[in-house]
Structure formats: structure tokens, C-alpha cells
Amino acid sequence: MIKQTPFKWRHFEAEIILLCVRWYLRYSLSYRDLEEMMLERGLHVDHTTIYRWVQRYAPELEKRCRSHLKACNDSWKVDETYIKIKKVWTYLYRAVDYEGNTLEFLLSPTRDAESATRFFVKALASTARSVSQARPVKKQGAQPMAPTVPTPTILTPRVINVDKNAAYPRAIAGLKDVGVLPQHVELRQVKYLNNLIEQDHRFIKRLTKPGMGFFSFETASRTLQEYEAYNMIRKGQLQGVNKGDVQGQVALVAKLFGVVA
């Protein structure tokens, strides 16, 4: 059976849709900026159409990227930054390893131990999913086949670096009590150790400025999901593409969606 393309019944070609989506995710552009840029190229694309494209393919790109991620290390740096939704500040929890590779993210309306716990559970589940995708399938009478695409193999962190937020120790202690985190996981509350992730926030913050904030939590969550997904591609976290290889990144996004670049 031929797998149905996600661009079926679209008025514009897949290459145009992916171009607009990539530019919106990579550069500090508004939907109206992209509308004007397309008009310069002779294409009449309304900014609301581009908005719908980004919302439609936001979860899809992140989902398709996950099984192609390179292995990350077991030293986590966790911090939260602020995102404005309907003129109200919300919190974007983010985690990177000590090389700056993005591990996971979570948008939350609150900044407390419960939100921190949900974030850690999501991050652990994400790495566990990646490991399950990497395991070979055993066939009767045949040797196990190695996975064709290497994926992360870290299930739990060795050390977690956070700031002085009191919610983090409570969240970590609670996860250890119920057995979600091993007792040997070390929690470090040293601010300067988190300089790397605080600098990493800048890429996401820079992208949110042209839109002057979001108007719903769902829209913000989907858009940030795609920002983060493309940020991982930009960093060279996916197999077959390196940081700074712009043409390789373009070809990879097209390949993930089954489009000939």
C-alpha cells in the first residue's frame, strides 16, 4: 500500500509549503513577512494560509525527527524561560545535554514542582521511546538485525543541572520516591553550570518576537514544538546532516516528508 502524502489536496506544491514552514521556523519572520516574500516571487499566498501550514506540520516534523536523532550524553541542563500568551507570561521548560543538544521541552502555565515533574516525566519517556525504536526486531530462525538508523540510548541522566528554583529538588525527590528516577541521579543547583541552556533560550526567544506573542495555549504549544524540532536540525542533531550544512538541512526536511528536494 502506498503511504498517503501529507500534502494531498493542498493548493500549493509541497516544495512551496515546506519552504515557507522552514523559513518561518529558522528566521525571525512574521506570517506577513513571508506573504510579502512569496509575492516577490510571483506567488499569492495569504499569511493566514502560511499560518495554517505551520500549525498543520508543526507536530509532524517533530514526530518524524525523533527516530533520526543522534545519541545524547547523560549530563542534563534544565531551565525554563518565559513565553507570552494572550499578554500573560507562561513557562517553557527546556533541557539540553552538556554539548548543547536539545533533549526535551514542555510549555506550562505554571512554574512549580508539579510542572517540573511533568517535564521530567516527558523527557524520560521521550528517551525511552527513542531506545525502543532502536531495538532490532527478532525473527524466528534469523539473527537480530541492527537498526538502520542510530538513535539515542540514554534512558536516565547521570546528573541534572538546574538553577535555584526550589521546585526542582521537590520534583526530583518525588520521582526518586516512586522509582521513576534512580537514586544515584545527582541534582546540582549551581547557576553558572546552566549558562549553556540560558544562551540556548535565545534562539527560541528571537523567533517568538516577530509574532508579538501567541493568542492561545494550543497554538503556542504547536508552534514552539516546531521551533524546537527545527532547532535540533539546525544544531546537527539528526543523522545525515551536520551543523552549518544548510543544503543538507533543506534536503533532510524534504526527505522526512517524502518530497524530492
Question: Which of the four pLDDT bands, split at 50, 70 and 90, describes residue 251?
Answer: very high
Instruction: Render pLDDT for 101-155 as a digit per residue (tens, 0 to 9).
Output: 999 999 999 999 999 999 999 998 876 655 444 444 344 444 444 444 444 444 6
pLDDT of residue 4 exceeding 70: no
Domain count, the chain: 2
Same domain, 197 and 108: yes
| Confidence (pLDDT) at 155 | 63
Sequence-separated (6 or more) residues with CB below 8 Å from residue 135: 147
Q: Can you tell me the mean pLDDT for 224-238?
A: 91
| Confidence (pLDDT) at 73 | 86
Same domain, 53 and 80: no
Flag the least confident range among 27-36, 166-175, 187-196: 187-196
Kindly state the percentage of the chain with pLDDT values over 90.
52
Q: Can you tell me the mean pLDDT for 30-42?
A: 95
Name the residue among 64, 63, 67, 12 with its Cα closest to residue 41: 12
Residue 236 lies in a domain: yes
Instruction: Render pLDDT for 51-110 as a digit per residue (tens, 0 to 9).
Output: 999 888 877 888 888 888 888 888 999 999 999 898 899 999 999 999 999 999 999 999
| Confidence (pLDDT) at 247 | 93
Residue 122 lies in a domain: yes
Same domain, 85 and 200: yes
Q: What is the CATH number of the domain that holds 91?
A: 3.30.420.10
Determine the structural domain holding residue 90 and report its residue range: 75-134+149-206
Q: How far is residue 79's CA from residue 133's CA, in Å, rounded to a whole number?
A: 28
Averaged pLDDT of the chain = 84
Same domain, 100 and 158: yes
Question: Which of the four pLDDT bands, split at 50, 70 and 90, describes residue 209?
Answer: confident
Residue 8 lies in a domain: no
